[in-house]
Structure 1
Amino acid sequence: MLRELALPRRSVLRAAGVAAGVAAGVAAVPAIGSAAPAVAAPRMRTTRVPRTRAKRVTGAAARAVRADFPIEYVAVDWSGPRRGAGIRLLQRDGSRGAWTALRPVCAAGADGGAGDPARSVRALVPVGGAAGYELRLPDGATDVRTTAIDTVNGPAVDVSPAARAQPFPGLDVITRAEWGADESLRFKPDGSENSPQTYYPAQTLTVHHTAGANGDTDPAATIRAYYYLHAIVNDWGDIGYHFLIDEAGRVYEGRYTGTDGIPAHDAGGKAVTAFHTAGYNSGNLGIALLGTFEGQGPTAAARQSLTTLLASLSDYHGFDPRAAVTFVNPVNGVEKNVQMISGHRDWLATECPGTVMYGDLPALRTDVAAALS
């Protein structure tokens, strides 16, 4: 399915194996899933997780909203111009804050999904426990919807994740249960799964940013907000990324795949289809860095974890991180010429993964290749 344009693949698809050593100052990646796996021992963590609360409003009423719970995030989506939207927060004492611009999150969605990604505009804003908010939208905006989200203060439940060996040496992957994914959000009211998992051989690796706040003090709460935005508001049935990385370098499991195999894959090593590059999802693994990288790059810890994760995935799938390839969507045959490690803007008209992060991709490919040598 994958046709090489430039460099040959470093190795064939394999269940495990990577050479030890250090090149260009980048630590080599140990083996994944080998006969004697160099992975951390399975762990059990009991985590107390607040349940997500939300209030969804559409139409004219969506431009001024109050909730009976502290609002930690506001999701806004509309059709029309991307620029010119703003939000003003309402506090519990009745005061109003200043207007601030809304920064749209990146265009994405399911392959063949409804709506035009170029005209469907979405934003997710941390608002720190506000009582309400008012919106100012650009002329021509239609189909306005807003959602007040609380992923911090709701009723808490104790979660004991199933024991699971850590598949990526050097990275402690935080499971869905540990970051507080409410698995009921994956299901429709009739009990059917909104977006059943499908699996295809992995072909490429795509880097994203979430276009959210930098300096996030509660990244797990932010991920829960993105999960609600993607699964419920966008009606994707799950979070759109395979992995997420916070500023401390912690790696979070994204799209649901159960507990067999490594995260984002089935037991046979195929990648689950997610929703990060509309039209080019199946066989395309998406990794999102929390934050916005238009005027700054990721932290050193996040950048190192991204390098290690990309190297581990490249080794697992036999990818050459410096190769140019033709991606072929196995569902509909749509093709795209890209780098093996690409940025979101290589697939769709979007600023993602930010100007600074996108400019760092050539060096990132070199570092990933060095980690494999």
Structure 2
Amino acid sequence: MRKELSLNRRAVLRAVGVAAGVAAVPALGAVAPAAAASGVRTARVPRTRAKSVTGAAARAVRADFPIEYVGVTWNGPKRGAGIRLIQQDGSRGAWTVLQPVCGAGADRDAGDSAESVSVLVPAGGAAGYELQLPAGATGVRSTAMDTVNGPSKEVAAASTVGQFAGVEYITRAGWGADESLRFKADGTENSPQTYYPAQTLTVHHTAGANGDPDPAATIRAYYYLHAIVNDWGDIGYHFLIDESGRIYEGRYSGTDGIPAHDASGKMVTAFHTSGYNSGNLGIALLGTFTDQSPTAAARRSLTQLLAGLSAYHNLNPQAAVTFVNPVNGVTKDVQMISGHRDWLATECPGTTLYTDLPALRADVAANLPQSAAARSVPVRRSPA
């Protein structure tokens, strides 16, 4: 029954996705002249340029391209790190405290997640940077990235927007995912897709800058940080949401046109809760929500996406459940809609957003389609 339902949705989603407008897609560049002349609308997306340095040399780096983001990873204390940007004229800015991105990773890294630190910093076209790392930091690696100004590629505009679970989203092609980053030098896929029934939905923040002027470029930077620097093989989340409320497809899930799932409705495993990834869907809001709330638009999109996913998987958003990792049998008692800190020792999704989760669950339940709401009862359950 699930397979038939999913396949029917697949056909509908394809039809809706082709018909959907592209006004919600952030600007990716000019329409190609030849394509415009032929009547086929395309957008240009810049390729990512990066320079990665390890060890002591990672603490002072210059690049031959404008640095738009700096990714820093290390093992050890999370506090006590800082960065100072070097501008194109050689001047040095003030030291800024590094705020760690919420700890996550592939399940194979579960034992190391407590000590692994990852940070992404907007650099605004700097020429270089200097780092201060806490005492005892090991395995230091810093990566200068340019996801804005590099050579561009063309993507068909019809492939940049889709609809799924009642919401419109920007596809991987729409935000400029370079699919080659998923593959190793020998051509094999770094993290081949595996699929399991969805059991829980987990909310994150990226712990990045608020007021982001170019969220698609930021997502491309997270993609490179996760796929290449962290060696996960892809971006860690299933979906991301920017401050304007735009929803972005995350982890690659195949060519069937259904984001985060295969054609049968099973969910692809991502890398957002190390040790608890399989069967656990992750949604990240771009920004930091430790002392401030998400924008109304982002909160509304998060509610709608969670409601659509709850209905799609017949999950009760207000239930308490026992998550069972289908790979190794590890269990965890959580809310159906949880925050990252419910799984691991992390500040994610920020104190303000985490405090809002009870109200969010109620809002999601109120936004369920009537048929789905009728099936939902607030009981603890273990997955079949």
TM-score between both structures, scaled by the size of structure 1:
0.89
SS of equivalent to 2:227: helix
1:75-112 per-position Cα deviation (integer Å, ceiling 9, x unaligned): 00111111010000001111100000000001111112
Q: Is 1:93 the counterpart of 2:111 in the alignment?
A: no
Residue 157 of structure 1: how far off its partner (Å): 1.2
Change (3 A) 1:155 1:335: same
CA contact (8 A) 2:162 2:169 kept: no
CA distance in 2, matches of 1:359, 1:261: 35
- What is the aligned partner in structure 2 of residue 228 from structure 1? 224
Report percent identity of matched pairs. 76
- What is the aligned partner in structure 2 of residue 40 from structure 1? 16
Return the letter of the residue paired with 1:195.
Answer: S
Query: In the alignment, which of 166, 171, 178 is matched to residue 163 of structure 2?
Result: 166
CA contact (8 A) 2:2 2:265 kept: no
CA distance in 1, matches of 2:234, 2:76: 25
Residue 259 of structure 1: how far off its partner (Å): 2.9
CA distance in 2, matches of 1:304, 1:353: 16
SS of equivalent to 1:363: helix
Q: How does 1:131-280 map to 2 (within 5 A)?
A: 131-160=127-156, 163=159, 165-169=162-166, 171-280=167-276
1:89-143 per-position Cα deviation (integer Å, ceiling 9, x unaligned): 0011111000000000011111122761111111100010000000011111111
Change (3 A) 1:272 1:140: same
CA contact (8 A) 1:199 1:271 kept: yes
CA contact (8 A) 1:14 1:317 kept: no
Greater than 3 Å deviation, 4+ residue runs: 12-17, 34-41, 161-165
CA distance in 2, matches of 1:130, 1:261: 38
CA contact (8 A) 1:273 1:284 kept: yes
Residue 257 of structure 1: how far off its partner (Å): 1.2
CA distance in 2, matches of 1:165, 1:247: 19
CA distance in 2, matches of 1:148, 1:225: 10
- What is the aligned partner in structure 2 of residue 320 from structure 1? 316
CA distance in 1, matches of 2:49, 2:221: 10
Return the letter of the residue paired with 2:174.
Answer: E
CA distance in 2, matches of 1:36, 1:144: 47
- What is the aligned partner in structure 2 of residue 346 from structure 1? 342
SS of equivalent to 2:143: strand
Return the letter of the residue paired with 1:142.
Answer: T
Residue 357 of structure 1: how far off its partner (Å): 0.3
Bigger relative contact order, structure 1 or 2 (CA pairs below 8 A, ≥6 apart): 1
1:163-196 per-position Cα deviation (integer Å, ceiling 9, x unaligned): 5752233x32100011000000000000000000
Q: Is 1:61 the counterpart of 2:57 in the alignment?
A: yes
Residue 309 of structure 1: how far off its partner (Å): 0.4
CA distance in 2, matches of 1:229, 1:42: 31
SS of equivalent to 2:188: coil
CA distance in 1, matches of 2:4, 2:296: 30
**Structure 1 residue ranges without an equivalent (≥5):** 1-11, 18-31
1:51-89 per-position Cα deviation (integer Å, ceiling 9, x unaligned): 000000011111000000000000001111110100000
CA contact (8 A) 1:45 1:178 kept: no
Change (3 A) 1:293 1:16: farther
Query: In the alignment, which of 71, 74, 96 is matched to residue 75 of structure 1?
Result: 71
CA contact (8 A) 2:107 2:276 kept: yes
Q: Is 1:52 the counterpart of 2:48 in the alignment?
A: yes
Return the letter of the residue paired with 1:226.
Answer: Y
CA distance in 1, matches of 2:87, 2:156: 36
Query: In the alignment, which of 344, 356, 359 is matched to residue 355 of structure 2?
Result: 359
1:196-244 per-position Cα deviation (integer Å, ceiling 9, x unaligned): 0000000000000000000000000000000000000000000000000
Return the letter of the residue paired with 2:336.
Answer: M
Change (3 A) 1:111 1:35: closer
- What is the aligned partner in structure 2 of residue 20 from structure 1? none
CA contact (8 A) 1:14 1:318 kept: no
Change (3 A) 1:365 1:235: same
Q: How does 1:290-305 map to 2 (within 5 A)?
A: 290-305=286-301
- What is the aligned partner in structure 2 of residue 368 from structure 1? 364
CA distance in 2, matches of 1:97, 1:234: 28
Q: How many residues align?
A: 347
